[in-house]
Amino acid sequence: MAQQLAKQSLLSKANVVFHCSGLLSSECLNSLAQLGCYTASIHPLFSFSKPMVDVEVFKGTYCAFEGSKLALEKLLPLFRAIDSQLFLIEKNDKVVVQFSASWCGNCRIMKPKFKKLASENDAITFVLIDAENSPESRKLANVSNLPTFATFVGGKLVNETQTNKQEVLIDLVKEIV
């Protein structure tokens, strides 16, 4: 699609082009970046099974952003206006996510352990998601119980586990170190 747009000369320098595939990095838009467009990949942690209904409950959805900093500057105000929570990732980033909820006792127990692990692993992005406020995010890692911890490499789910044991969480993170 990006190559077709590039050939049709519909876009010009400094236009912002992004996709929300959930799988591909912004590299799939390289043909447009070569034209001078600012390109990005935005991955909502949300499954759009019924787009006309889902758009109404998109508020507060976490979205992973990867791409040009100039695209981010243009897109950030738009996503803030719809109350999305953008967090930055790199193309081949390693990410650990804790899915939790405010009412979950084990989630509260694991949260400081999760944050400590984050402070000890600079090469990995750690993200805390309130699965009650963003229930669609649960589909990304087949979350059926809380807390659930999931690892992603290059945007793909590597492993997930439900635990309240620090050792299990450490072993999960070691898988992607």
**Residue 104 is a catalytic residue:** yes
With a CB cutoff of 8 Å and minimum separation 6, the contacts of 161 are 148, 149, 168, 169, 172
Set 20, 37, 63, 104: catalytic member: 104
Distance CA 159, CA 71 (A): 31
With a CB cutoff of 8 Å and minimum separation 6, the contacts of 11 are 5, 17, 32, 35, 37
Helices (H) and strands (E) in the chain, counts: 6, 8
Work out whether the CA dihedral 166, 167, 169, 173 comes out positive or negative.
positive
**Residue 20 is a catalytic residue:** no
φ/ψ of 151, rounded to 5, equals -115, 140
Distance CA 147, CA 45 (A): 17
Looking at the annotation, which residues are catalytic?
104, 107
